[in-house]
Amino acid sequence: MNKQDQNKPIPKATAKRIPLYFRYLRTLQESGVIRIKSKEFSQMIQVPSATIRRDFSHFGELGRSGYGYDVPYLIEVFSEILSTQVEKRIALVGVGNLGKALLKNNFRRNENLTIMCAFDSDPEVIGTCINCVEIKNIHDFSEVAKKEGITAVITTVPSKHAQQAIDTIVASGITAILNFAPDRVKVPEHVNIQYIDLTTELQTLIYFDEHVSQVNKLGLAKKA
């Protein structure tokens, strides 16, 4: 296999699209499609075909001109990159409204992602069960996380208490954290932290709708 050079990391923007590519390729495979042209794939996933070709070029020769891409082969390559054959054991910290929703869903569409354990500091919540996961005391985080073989953490702890929760997580040796509290926290350089901020996403969307896309809308109105 002419795969990615392990010593040469791929760009972050490309890495972000791999799970999307992978999901659609699996859908194609389930529908019995074994090859697809980059133009068709582009229309399906709404990513420009030049971007797809450039992304795929990081992983060697994945397609042939005029033939398109071999679906099972692409799935094999991306599956290895995403290590979807390996179970990712995740801990959830903060079992408020959003935490409860994440536990109830528990990545059911992705069999290799599993929230194994959940933590909170509220005595009313500790000891209860959601979707067969028992909520444990955050003070026991390090011990439970080690026992469960946790490699990544999702935290939904509000900004006010987020730094304290993150410190506990980092102290246990975890280096991958997805943080739903928008305020920036301090972590050592070797820790990977990713923020998801729903309010920012919504504000950006509304800003674009109100300002940037006015040009297009006026253009459309003129044509009509």
Question: Residues in the site for a second copy, rule: CB under 8 A?
Answer: 6, 9-10, 12, 15-16, 18-20, 23, 44-46, 81-83, 88, 90, 96-98, 100-102, 104-105, 107, 109-110, 113, 151-152, 154, 175-178, 182-184, 189-190, 192, 194, 196-213, 215-217, 220
Return the number of the residue (88 or 136) whose C-beta is nearest a second copy: 88
CB of 142 to a second copy, least distance (A): 18
Quick check: 81 and 111 in contact, CB under 8 A?
Answer: no
Collapsing DSSP to helix, strand or coil, 177 comes out as strand
Collapsing DSSP to helix, strand or coil, 191 comes out as coil
CB of 66 to a second copy, least distance (A): 26
CB of 83 to a second copy, least distance (A): 7
Terminal alpha carbon distance of the chain:
53
Which amino acid appears at position 161 of this protein?
Answer: H
Return the number of the residue (61 or 190) whose C-beta is nearest a second copy: 190
How far, in Å, CA of 102 to CA of 131, rounded?
10
Return the number of the residue (126 or 153) whose C-beta is nearest a second copy: 153
Closest CA to 116 of 96, 98, 97, 136: 136
Return the number of the residue (69 or 78) whose C-beta is nearest a second copy: 78
The string of DSSP codes covering 92-127 is EE--SHHHHHHHHHTTTT-TTEEEEEEEES-TTTTT
Return the number of the residue (90 or 126) whose C-beta is nearest a second copy: 90
CB of 111 to a second copy, least distance (A): 11
Task: Identify the DSSP state of 3.
Answer: -
CB of 65 to a second copy, least distance (A): 26
